[in-house]
Structure 1
Amino acid sequence: MSIPELGYRAGQFFQKKTEKRSKRNVLSGAKDWCEIFRRSLDASLSNKSCFTIPAGYLKEFQQYTTFSFFTFQIDVDKPIDWHLDISSGKKFPLIFSKDIDIRSDKYGSAKVVWEINRLQFLLPIAIKYRGSKDKRDLQLFTDILQSWIAGNSYLLGVNWYSNIEVNIRLIVWYYCWQVLFTMEEVRNNKDFVSFATDIWLPAIYEHCVYSYANPSKYSSANNHLIAEYSGLFIASCCWDFNASKKWRAYAAKGLEKQIQAQHSPNGINKEEAAEYIQFITDFFLLPFSVGRQHNYIFSGEYENRLKAIFEYIYALMDIKKGYCKYGDEDDGKVLITSADPHSNNFFSLLASASVILKDNRFKSFAGGDFDLKNWLLWGENGRKIFDALKTDRRLRPSSLYDEGHFIFRKEDTSTPVREIYLHFDAAPLGFLSIAAHGHADALSIALHLDGIPFITDVGTYTYHTEEQWRNYFVSTLAHNTVCIDYKNQALHAGPTMWLNHYKVTVEKIHKDENIEAVAASHNGYLRSGCKHTRKVSFFRNEDKFLIEDHIAVFKGEHEIVLPWHLSPGIEVLKVSDNAYELRSEACDRFCTLICDIPLNTVSGQTDPVLGWYSPSFMQKTPTRALIGTIKNKGLKEIIIKSTININ
């Protein structure tokens, strides 16, 4: 930890002590709620067009009563215990928030509690009321929000622990406010106006104060910091508190800086967590849209980096809009604008890209769906731009990024389009000194055929609970790369903390009409006396991959482990001790994996853990893994060649 960060952490410690001792009333900073409400309402009415929602969008939510997340559901029309972990039955205490232990199982999973307390189901309820005009829907919205505010006094309880959660609520509340107060029925509803003025608006102010006073810095300045700027910017555009202009300038400056700092020039997010890309991109996209609605225009550099992010998303997706799930994933979304809990937000982002950039490639690939989220962002004018773009499906080439993400791709002109997709990960471990959401997956690969995963990244499953499983899913052994002595390529020091980061070096990139090849190495095993180099070659005319692993041994005896993790549902036919045929009922093609060393099949093993897959957060299922092992026995170099023939 650097000296400046030590100073920052010390400041946090003393701030915590002061907050706990004083229990200050932050509401003293804003006194005239009626005047603030009036000014804020005027700002909402200036953007009425985006929130005059067409009937077609409203129908989807007319039966909305259930909020689904992870493996759970809650009935939104029943009382909610805001501090209960419904996965374990344990409950977080109603004490000073920053004293609460969220990094163990003591009170259960904070992640589960927070998912409910983001209050994302309030927006579907507001949209439902907009369609139904049924006062019972508006009363349900009021009751839920009033219950939350009453049960979560400022700085008390786990829901004031994390600033990202505070800011997601701010963003959700912004869209709820806009959807409701652009309705004449709501503006004329004295009871609701009184509730909004006397109860909701002060809670919004408390959230803004907390957001500004508790920034994530140094090793914590990852997607959390982006969310904090995003929530505060959006809030300060809508609600005209005395400090709003200062907050907006501060947040806008932070967003401008972080969109550059946390993405490469090619738009690749440095957290090294693929699913997080859609989550993080919304934290930049929503302020971009809200800014336009409130006459604030971000810089050209900001828009250009957004464009680069969209281009990377376009390259990362396979033809069925799947992707290699490198790094952490937790199903996080900023807004819920679909009744389908499994809706693909990457589709929505590409539709936004179509509108912003007026580029039909994104519309054509995303399938031509201008969803409700995009209506809330761009309104009728955005819909007209989108509809005017012609669909023109183009074949995408391989995308070989110097930053370390190499997407080998071959698409053809058949109907439907067929695709060979292999992702080779030669990127850094993650972002900043703790690489919180990275996995030890240097030089790992994933193979999809016609949008069906065959050789796969195994996912995430959990963060702070079930330590054994967290340790497995982030481990080198759980990825399709060489693992030496069953050790990780870096030191896993905590659920979201890596130390002794490895360095990946891209040795060579070759590309011609028939052969594409990348060679890369990492130094994660130098402390054990070894170095791993992998070369991936794609022979396009033969539909074949050659994967060559070179392990240089400088000292000692070592066990070299080469795992191949297969997606659930992949059927395995053993052709010989070192050759397996891999098939899927969902795909009319298959592949044959041939390896220099014998392979053994493992599935659902628990001691030690091996042969598991997590399709979604807090979900896991057994799957097959083909495991090859070899010892160097005094040799200074081990070379393992593996061939994947696609038929």
Structure 2
Amino acid sequence: MAQHSGDNDEITGGLAKVTWLANRLASMSPSEIAFRCNEQFKRSVSRRVLPNFARAVTGPLDAMPEIPGMLERLHSFAEHGTGIEPLHRDWRRIGEQMRRGRFKALGITWPDRAGPPLWHLDPSTKTSWPDQTYCFDIAYRYAPERGDVKLVFELNRLQYLQPIAAAAALGNDKDLASVVVRHIDSWISANPPFRGVNWVSGIELALRVVSLLVVVTLIGDKTKLSAFTAEFRQRLHSCLAAHGYWLARFPSRFSSANNHRIAEAGALYMLGRLVPSLRNAKAWARNGKRVLEEELSLQFHNDGVGAEQSPTYSAFTLEWLLLGAVIGDRVGDKWSNASWHRMVQAGNHLRALTDCNGHQPLIGDDDESRVLYSRPGPEPYVNTVMGYLSTAARRPDLAPPKVEPHLGHAFFGKPEPSPRSTYDYAAFPAGGYTSVRDWREGVENLWVMDHGPLGYLSIAAHGHADALAIWLHIAGRPVLVDGGTYTYSSDVTWREHFRSTVAHNTLTIGGVSSSLSTGAFNWSERAECYLLNSVEDKEHWLIEAEHDGYEAHFGYRHRRRLERIGDDGVQLTDSLHGEGVPEQIEIGFLVAPDLDIHRTADGWQIMEQDKRLLSIAHTGRLHGWVEQALEKPKRGWHSPIFGERLPAQRLIFTGRMGAGDEAIFNLSTRF
């Protein structure tokens, strides 16, 4: 039975809250500090004064909200789409599991419970987050006694109801539809505005709004399933009004204006366009669209790279924008050509990072967030969103090489796969990546090198200290990989490791990261990267860049050159430039968990069982060896999905280097 942590337990998070606040203040401009002071004043007022949300509904409630075209397209997708039946079976299975109270997310299984879930229970610690405390009084960012709040947030997004509603619609299953209604009704009863942890984060409210709009579309008034009572209609509209009010009152601004800002504005735009009976609907639609189009040009560089320096966060932001733009088109509120152009640029970048099997490097944070939800667990999310873009923008060339059926195809349409089989050198100087799709003897080698910013805004919340890191996929499988994400708040030391430089394929001096973190989503020092040289020649392509992350501490800039030497392979050269003294350096190559590294007479070979994939040779004075699954210090780990950590072999070279010294490695995929 769950233990309930009372309101007095919030004291335990006091020190962590003070530390977090101090780090955030250091990242704030004077304008932001003034904004935060006003925000705190509004929070104090809202603790005591709440609107009557029943009165916020001004129009008739005869018609429930509806996402235009989604129900009709779902039935068309089911009738004509290929591969839909296994997906439909999965949707029914999710419904049956939830009938029995079984829920799993982020690698964690909730305790079985008949009926609706315990909305505030942390499944890992078996403790509950406060459900009656004013939301902004809850120290949720670091509360190890309760676990990572992301788990409770995941459940309360209500996204699992989307596939259940789809299964009910396709099967004309009134019992399954009633499960959806009971869960929504239970959530509304258990989460009065603005009490409990489920009201504290705007992005969580925004994702919940989409879930509610999707499910009432799929089991709503146009179906034979609708059994919405007058009382339920009123409760749902009041709930949506409360969500819209809170999102509009407490927007993410300044250093917080990342994907959260997009999500909040996206939800307000959808409420404004799809729920006109809400008192502030017109203002929400107008302001939501303005923010979305403004932020689109800020959160994607002019070469299409997402400013948060994470392909999955780029996809998440892009999904919100596409939802808004397509809904706008369908209700007669078209978006600008400039907005569509920037979204297409974003698609070009994501496509350049995608190998022939639809994998992208794990760059920056990835916490499996998505807007439209089809199945629990990991999915090829970036591919899914590229598919949305290809149909919405009528750009079939931006579709991924492989397409899996998804509930989102009921809204956007299902794209045709678009494989790429030619050489492609794609440089993104503003966003800071270069990818090379290099074909050798009919095998795709996808090389990616970082030379960009740490992340977005002053806190760079989802960036990693991966300056000048490289990634390599061979024949559509990851070989040289990023450490991944693993956790946000449940363990400070693991969060720090997976963001650190040693978890990435680059050079470290003295065990110090190129950028220094202060908390789970903040940095005290940030490396700046500079692209020095870029050559596209198919047989002699070149990427050369440097960063200043070690200049203040060691007097050096780290320079890296990655170049194709014809059929002889790819040469990687690391060098230090400056006026420091010789320092102990470390250059690492982390390989995917199911691969092995073997020592040979000529160097090192990375193997997949008996198949040779990559050889790495170094003829200099650095000493090399393999490490794996170390705890002290943390080394040799890979997190393929949020919440999962696997041992992975890491080839490491160490020694001393000084000004002008070079470490040269020959990398070959020919055997």
TM-score (norm 1): 0.91
Partner letter of residue 358 of structure 1?
A: R
Look up the equivalent residue of 2:151 and give its one-letter code: V
Distance 1:394 1:546, change over 3 A: closer
- Per-residue deviation, 1:77: 5.9
Quick one: which amino acid aligns to residue 27 of structure 1?
F
Distance in 1 (CA, whole Å) between partners of 2:482 and 2:418 is 32
Contact 1:579 / 1:593 at 8 angstroms: preserved in 2? Answer: yes
* From 604, 627, 637, the counterpart of 1:602: 627
Residue 314 of structure 1 corresponds to which residue in structure 2? Answer: 351
Deviation of the 1:82 alpha carbon? 0.8
Deviation (angstroms), 1:506:
1.0
Instruction: Determine whether 1:397 maps to 2:421.
Output: no
Cα distance change on mapping 1:538 and 1:107 into 2, 3 Å: same
Deviation at 1:565, TM superposition (A): 1.2
| Structure 1: distance between partners of 2:70 and 2:455 | 39
Structure 2 counterparts to residues 144-543 of structure 1, below 5 A? 144-187=183-226, 189=227, 192-240=228-276, 241-337=278-374, 339=375, 341-363=377-399, 365-367=400-402, 371-378=406-413, 394-403=421-430, 404-411=432-439, 414=442, 418-539=443-564, 541-542=566-567
Instruction: Check if 1:61 corresponds to 2:97.
Output: no
Summarize deviations over 1:343-365 as a string: whole Å, max 9, x none. 312332232233234333234x4
Summarize deviations over 1:573-615 as a string: whole Å, max 9, x none.
1125x82111114966443343531212111111111111111
Q: Does 1:641 pair with 2:664?
A: yes
* Contact 1:452 1:586 (C-alpha < 8 Å) held by counterparts: no
Distance 2:351 2:583 in 1: 41
Q: Report the 3-state secondary structure (helix = DSSP H, G, I; strand = E; otherwise coil) of the residue aligned with 2:311.
A: coil
Write the distance in 1 (CA, Å) between the matches of 2:444 and 2:70: 43
Q: 1:568 touches 1:613 (CA, 8 Å); kept in 2?
A: yes
Letter in 2 for 1:62: R
Figure out how many residues of one structure are paired with residues of the other and give that number: 624
| C-alpha distance in 2 between matches for 1:368 and 1:268 | 22
Task: Extract unaligned runs of 5+ from structure 2.
Answer: 1-27, 98-102
Deviations for 1:517-560, whole angstroms, at most 9, x for unmatched residues?
11111111111133233333332631611111111352345211
Counterpart in the other structure of 1:139: 178
- In structure 1, C-alpha distance between the alignment counterparts of 2:378 and 2:32, rounded to whole Å: 39
Distance 1:206 1:535 in 2: 52
1:114-133 matched pairs, under 5 angstroms: 114-133=153-172
1:558 aligns with 2:583: yes
In structure 1, the partner of 2:6 is: none
**Match for 1:8: what amino acid?**
F
Q: Report if aligned partners of 2:446, 2:472 keep a CA contact under 8 Å in 1.
A: yes
C-alpha separation between the residues in 1 aligned to 2:268 and 2:406? 25
User: In structure 1, what residue type is equivalent to 2:323?
Assistant: L
Match of 1:16 among 43, 51, 56: 43
Residue pair 1:62, 1:131 contacting (<8 A) in 2 also: no
1:10–1:392 CA distance, 2 compared to 1 (3 A): closer
Give deviations 1:442-483, integer Å, cap 9, x for gaps. 001111111222211110101112111011000011111111
2:118 to 81, 93, 116: 81
Q: 1:329 to 1:47 in 2, by over 3 A?
A: closer
Q: Does the C-alpha gap of structure 1 residues 208 and 601 become closer, same or farther in structure 2, counting only changes over 3 Å?
A: same
Which consecutive residues of structure 1, in runs of 5 or more, have no partner in the other structure? none
From the superposition, tell whether residues 19 and 535 of structure 1 become closer, same or farther in structure 2 (CA, over 3 Å).
same
* Distance (whole Å) between structure 2 residues aligned to residue 287 and residue 413 of structure 1: 44
Q: TM-score, normalised by structure 2?
A: 0.88
Q: Give the CA deviation at 1:194.
A: 2.0
Q: Does 1:2 align with 2:29?
A: yes
- Cα RMSD for the two superposed structures: 2.3
8 Å CA contact retained: 1:270, 1:430: yes
Q: Deviations over 1:361-405 (max 9, x none)?
A: 234x43366643122235xxxx6xx57xx9675525121221220
* Cα distance in 2 for residues equivalent to 1:579 and 1:267: 38
Work out whether 1:103 is the aligned partner of 2:141. yes
CA distance in 2, matches of 1:46, 1:435: 37
Note if contact 2:590-2:649 (Cα within 8 Å) is conserved in structure 1.
yes
Distance in 2 between residues matched to 1:90 and 1:315, nearest whole Å:
44
Bigger shift: residues 539-548 or 228-237: 539-548
Equivalent residue, structure 2, for 1:30? 56
**Alpha-carbon deviation of 1:254?**
0.3
Q: Secondary structure at the match of 1:93?
A: coil
Secondary structure of 1:355's aligned partner = helix
Residues 70 and 410 in structure 2, CA contact (< 8 A), matched pair in contact too: no
Going from structure 1 to structure 2, the CA distance change for 1:341 and 1:579 (only over 3 Å counts) comes to same
Q: After TM superposition, give the deviation of residue 170 of structure 1 in Å.
A: 0.6
Q: How does 1:620-639 map to 2 (within 5 A)?
A: 620-632=645-657, 635-639=658-662
Deviations, residues 235-268 of structure 1 (Å, cap 9, x unaligned):
2111111210110000000000011111011211
What letter corresponds to residue 273 of structure 1 in structure 2?
Answer: S
